[in-house]
Amino acid sequence: MAKNWGQRLRKWIAKQLDLPEDVMMNLPRLTMVGQIHLYIENHRGLLSFSDSEIRVRLSRGQLLVKGSSLVIKAILPEELLLEGMIEHVIFIQE
């Protein structure tokens, strides 16, 4: 119950201060350009990487990206830029 109350409070604060919910709720933000670029914000680290599959840890679960010729173009503490032929983006809830 307390966790649910905390989420409601963060949503209310985000609305009152006109802040994006993804920032207040610590949610990932994904920006995809066609099938060739995927920009991930608010990640918690890289779990696995190959040229056909990438797993990224999130605050609540994992993100699985499948495709071909996948390359990490940039990686920062909370930001990740992927390039390649992206075929699937799957959220795995833990």
DSSP string for residues in 35-72: TTEEEEES---EEEE-SSEEEEEETTEEEEEEEEEEEE
pLDDT digits (tens, 9 = 90+) for 42-89: 899 999 999 999 999 998 899 999 999 999 999 998 899 999 999 999
What pTM, to 2 d.p., does this model score?
0.75
All structural domains of the chain with their residue ranges = 26-92
Proportion of the chain in helix, strand, coil states, percent, rounded to 5: 20, 50, 30
What's the fold here for domain 26-92? Immunoglobulin-like (2.60.40)
Tokens describing residue 24: 């207040």
